[in-house]
Structure 1
Amino acid sequence: MNSLPGGSGAGGPPGYDANDPNIKRMQAMMESCFGKTVISGVMGFGMGGLFGMFMASMSYDTPYHTPGATGGPPKELASLPLRDQLKTGFKDMGTRSYGMAKNFGKVGAMFAGIECGIEGFRAKNDLANGVAAGCLTGGILARGGGPLAVGGGCAAFAAFSAAIDAYMRSPSDD
């Protein structure tokens, strides 16, 4: 049997049995719309948190003032002890990271769920599923801005989805 470095070969890792009921259940869960939606939401939340932490660390609009201890006028951040400066900075970074993580998780779960539903309805796996899911997701996310925003969100998210999906479906150079 041809074996790849690390002990995995064509049949999977040592001890892998494709007929194991636990493995079959895990595969079925990963292929279900519910599983794809949850996984995309969790992964989006994680990536959004990391992205938010990076963006918050690079941001220049950090809280340079913090409320006074007695509710009085704000104090300059630089005049606080180092421990309080760090506490204020990390609290701001955590707030920003959590907000971005929630947004990325929501978008990831929404897009994956809609795309899986469309794929199941059409019984096809092609570029049109991603484009339609992108249009619906962008439109839903922009619904509070009125009809023009819904149309713009639909078009932008559909174009982005089409570009990513076309790139992912392109043949590799290997």
Structure 2
Amino acid sequence: MSFPGMPPQMGGGASAGMDPQKIQEQQMIKLMQSGMESCPVKMALAGGMGFGLGGLFGLFMASMRYDTPMSSAIPGSAAAEIEKIPMRQQIKAGFKDMGKSSWSSAKNFGYIGGVYSGSECVIEGFRGKNDLANGVAAGCFTGGFLAKSAGPQAMAIGCAGFAAFSAAIDAYMRMESNDVAADPII
């Protein structure tokens, strides 16, 4: 007899006559699939991917920013014009600003990704369905949770905003595709 999540027993059933290496391979596949279905793993992956993407986004946005004051390039000095600051100090200040912006965006994106993914997984497990309502509810929870320190009105606005954005993205991602090249099995 075989139980869910346990390796198949030898001597009968589907594993009879299979190579031990194939059996081990099947066990690893099942283990990885069950890991990818667990909420903590989904939450950690979404948080990690959000952290990485947020870091890249922050780096890009800091490099495109034109309003960065260069007066802080030389500590303890009065505000100086950019032409009067040595090139090395300009580069150092620019990289420092890019690093701060990148780190800040990485933390925020990772936090949002983890909260959204974790709440969506819990809601999906509770409802037992995988539909648009899970993403909308998770978006509402995430928006409200992020605005919790600003008061109930901000929580309601955050809930509505994140829910609407999540609904729009999920609806687009679940749209039927008429492109035969996108799905060759049709």
TM range (shorter): 0.7 to 0.9
Task: Please state whether the residue corresponding to 1:65 is helix, strand or coil.
Answer: helix
Corresponding residue number in structure 2 for 1:126: 131
- The alpha-carbon deviation at position 91 of structure 1 amounts to 0.7
Q: Deviations over 1:78-109 (max 9, x none)?
A: 32221221111011001001101100000000
Identity %: 58
Gaps of 5+ in 2: 1-20, 180-186
Residues 66, 76 of structure 1: 8 Å contact kept: no
* Pairing of 1:1-174 with structure 2 (within 5 A): 19-66=25-72, 68-69=74-75, 71-174=76-179
- The alpha-carbon deviation at position 146 of structure 1 amounts to 1.3
After TM superposition, where is structure 1 displaced by more than 6 Å over at least 4 residues in a row? Answer: 15-18
- The alpha-carbon deviation at position 74 of structure 1 amounts to 4.1
Aligned length: 159
User: C-alpha root-mean-square deviation of aligned residues, in Å?
Assistant: 2.0
TM-score normalised by the chain length of structure 2: 0.79
Q: Which amino acid aligns with 1:55?
A: M
Q: Deviations over 1:44-89 (max 9, x none)?
A: 11111111111111112213202645x3434444322212211110
TM-score normalised by the chain length of structure 1: 0.84
Task: Please state whether the residue corresponding to 2:129 is helix, strand or coil.
Answer: coil
Q: Which amino acid aligns with 2:44?
A: V
Q: Deviations over 1:93-150 (max 9, x none)?
A: 0100110110000000000000000000111111111111100100010112211111
Question: Who wins on radius of gyration, i.e. which is larger?
Answer: 2
- The alpha-carbon deviation at position 31 of structure 1 amounts to 1.5
Gaps of 5+ in 1: 1-14
- The alpha-carbon deviation at position 24 of structure 1 amounts to 2.1
> For 2:64 and 2:102, how far apart are their aligned partners in 1?
12
